[in-house]
Structure 1
Amino acid sequence: MSRVFLFCIAEEAKPFIPRLLALDKISYPFILVQSREFPAEADWFKETLADGEPFESDFIGASAADCTAWALEHQVQHNQIDQDKVAIVDARSAEDETIELRFYVRDVVANLLRPGQQSNAWYDFRVPYQKAPRLLTDLPYGDADETYGVYFWRRDGLVDERGVFDVEKAEELILQGEGFVPLDEEAWDGLHGKNEE
């Protein structure tokens, strides 16, 4: 079973980590990255924490870019790591129980991105933590031809005023056949209106 790197970058968010580690362990377990050194097998990443259990992290105060760079460098070191995905818990997570999920989009699917979007780059989605397993399953394991038109072409229109991505609405659009990537941006504008994201 693949596991997703989980980074805690804010001291005040530490109490939130046990809930994330307990979240839907069957479909999408997280593993807590505490050290900038990849652990030996005997010192594997933490997969559970009791409420209030203390832990240390070398990533307190780090940026999201620090976390994603570390993930790209180290994700190939073990076959249980789900590559090109990370979860980040920050100061905002402590306030509103959202987390940031980041996905690295490689050249192999560059043709599915909207014009102007770059491949070999990270894309972020802030979601309520309970919705994280659903988004982690949809990207990239959903049929890319049926999902990228929503998650990348329509992303901005699915983010609310707080910057939170609407996972339910995205899934609804995919079920309605709105997930297909258009042949070009002009075709997209003709189908969905010039200014719709």
Structure 2
Amino acid sequence: MSSILLFCTAQEAKSLASKISKHVETTEGYDDALAIVKSRGEVSADEKFETQPDANGSLETQWVGASVEEVRDWVLQNQEKLRDNEIADANLIAILDYRSAKDETIRMDYYRDRPGLPFRESGLHPEEGGPPYTEVEILPPKSDVWYSFRIRYQHFHQLVADLTGVTSAEVVFPYYFGRKDEFLDDQGIFDLDKVFDAL
């Protein structure tokens, strides 16, 4: 699988990077699943991102203090090189921010760069004689926008599988983009245990 870019934007969250990296690599097939972005510079053709923080647990990064918008802009500006060199999946990123340091959650931002897929709870597909889809039946509803999910770091594997095509979009998109509010807990965390139970 392609790596997911990991940004740390809060000094307090640096220590969590090591914990998350160790957890992520405990699942088969997720070796090097995270690519830690340390520099704000342009991505070079032979770029190699680290997959583990330094041995002493520290993390040197130029992203401390950056806004979500700055992170997103950098990803979009470097998206072509990231994809061409198969460095990372440039449509899904992980951000460790100030809140991450407090509750050990990760902000996961998903960029949908193409139109959504048509979904209908019941009735015929238009190709089978059914009526055309309405805007509310297209998921995700908009393209060329970012969608955000705050998750517990233990759910990293599931969200990555669901949004990078390992799990069928037809199965999970209605939960992520059509019914997201139903799966938020009282802290606003997207609870993938509830999604799993609903599938």
TM-based fold match above 0.5: yes
Partner of 2:24: helix, strand, or coil? coil
The residue type paired with residue 139 of structure 1 is L
C-alpha distance after superposition, 1:153-174 (max 9, x if no partner): 1001111121101101112222
Structure 2 vs 1, CA of residues 27 and 102 (structure 1 numbering), >3 Å: closer, same or farther? farther
1:106 to 113, 117, 125: 113
1:72 paired to 2:76: yes
The separation in 2 between residues aligned to 1:73 and 1:23, in whole angstroms, is 30
Asked whether the 8 Å contact 1:15–1:51 carries over to 2, the reply is: no
Deviation at 1:5, TM superposition (A): 0.3
Deviation at 1:50, TM superposition (A): 4.6
Deviation at 1:70, TM superposition (A): 1.1
TM-score w.r.t. the length of structure 1 is: 0.79
The residue type paired with residue 45 of structure 1 is F
C-alpha distance after superposition, 1:117-163 (max 9, x if no partner): 42211111111101111111011412112211111110011111211
Asked whether the 8 Å contact 2:37–2:61 carries over to 1, the reply is: yes
The separation in 1 between residues aligned to 2:192 and 2:44, in whole angstroms, is 36
Deviation at 1:88, TM superposition (A): 0.3
Q: Partner of 2:191 in structure 1?
A: 166
Q: Partner of 1:139 in structure 2?
A: 163
2:63 to 52, 59, 62: 59
Deviation at 1:69, TM superposition (A): 1.6
The separation in 1 between residues aligned to 2:137 and 2:65, in whole angstroms, is 34
The residue type paired with residue 120 of structure 1 is D
Asked whether the 8 Å contact 1:110–1:119 carries over to 2, the reply is: no
Runs of 4+ in 1 over 6 A off after TM superposition: none
Structure 2 vs 1, CA of residues 12 and 52 (structure 1 numbering), >3 Å: closer, same or farther? farther
Number of residue pairs aligned between Structure 1 and Structure 2:
174
Deviation at 1:105, TM superposition (A): 1.4
Deviation at 1:54, TM superposition (A): 2.8
Partner of 1:85: helix, strand, or coil? strand
1:1-197 superposed matches below 5 A: 1-25=1-25, 26-28=28-30, 29-38=33-42, 40=44, 44-50=48-54, 52-77=56-81, 78-109=85-116, 111=118, 114=136, 117-141=141-165, 142-174=167-199
The residue type paired with residue 80 of structure 1 is I
User: Which moves more between the two structures, 22-31 or 8-17?
Assistant: 22-31
Gaps of 5+ in 2: 120-134
The separation in 1 between residues aligned to 2:172 and 2:47, in whole angstroms, is 37
